[in-house]
Structures are given as structure tokens and as C-alpha cells.
Amino acid sequence: MNFSSTIKSGGGDGFEAKVNELGQLLVLDGLSYSEAYTVQVSAANTAFNLVKPKPDRRFIITAIILDADKSVSGTTAATVELYEASNITDLAASRSILSLEMLKNTNRIITGISLVVTQGEWLNIKTTDDNIAATVLGYYVDA
């Protein structure tokens, strides 16, 4: 027996849940596949941009991959901070997303997350060592 039904958001915005072509239930408006944004930090204590803000959109982080190469000190850890900032070169964090230390030849892979970046904010990274590679996966949604 088949019947038709509709699931609507209770927030009054009229959003209806949908089933995509893969049979997945989509409960967020504008949900799409993740895209990768990568940067090689090539200078210590410098802001590097990973994701730029888009008008009327917010960025959702779904994974973070950090890699410290063989040139990072084996005795002094590199401090790495992923943060929101008000502009592309800002070293001051409006909000810290992640802060950790990494030794040479180590990596951090953080998956299964759904973190929202504040609308209008840049997603930047800074580190105390110039040999860190960063990749953020995610997608934009309507604000």
C-alpha cells in the first residue's frame, strides 16, 4: 500500500523535506555534496584563507584534514588554529573552530561533523610552523 505524505519544518519557513536521487532524506534546505578547500601554510604566524564568505550563504564544515610534513620540528609542536575572522588577513579570531598541536609527520582527520561558519565570516588558518597543509570539506547553504 502506497500513500503520499509531506514533512514540513516547524519553523514556519515552509521548507519541505525531500528524497534525493540516491534515496537520502534531505532535511536541510540547499544541502549538497561537500567540496574540498585546501591551503598549504607557507609562513608561520600568518593568516591563510580556506573558505571565503558568500552573500546570503553560510558554510557548513563536514570534515577537516591537517597534515604536518617532515620539516615540522620533531621536538617543538606546531600550534594550529582554524578560526573565523572578519577579513582574509585577520590573525585575530572572531571565533575559534579548532586549536591543536602537531609534531612532524603527523595528521589529524576529523570527519562526521556538521559545523556552521558564521555568515559573513572568513574561515582562516594560522600556525606557528610553515609546513602544515589543511583541507576543509563542506558546502554552502542559504542563510
Query: Domain with 76 in it: what CATH number?
Result: 2.60.120
In sequence order, what DSSP letters do the residues of 110-127 get, joined into one string?
EEEEEEEPPTT-EEEEEE
Q: Phi and psi of 20, rounded to 5°?
A: -80, -175
Domain-embedded: residue 102:
yes
Q: Cβ atoms within 10 A of the Cβ of 21, count? A: 5
Q: Above 80 in pLDDT, residue 36?
A: yes
Number of domains observed in the structure of the chain: 1
Higher pLDDT: 72 or 124? It is: 124
Q: Choose among 83, 139, 132: nearest CA to 108.
A: 132
Task: State residue 18's pLDDT score.
Answer: 76
- For residue 23, is it within any domain? no
Measured over the CA atoms of residue 67, residue 69, residue 75 and residue 78, the dihedral's sign is negative
pTM for the complete prediction?
Answer: 0.80
Task: Enumerate the β-bridge partners of residue 133.
Answer: 40, 67
Whether residue 85 is contained in a domain is answered as yes
Provide the CA 106 distance to its chain's centre, in angstroms: 20
Which residues constitute the domain of residue 138?
30-142
- 67 part of a folded domain: yes
Query: Is the residue at 3 inside a domain?
Result: no
- End-to-end Cα distance, the chain: 39
pLDDT the model gives residue 75: 85
Read off the pLDDT of residues 51-91 as tens digits, 9 standing for 90 and up.
999 999 999 999 999 999 999 988 899 999 999 999 999 99
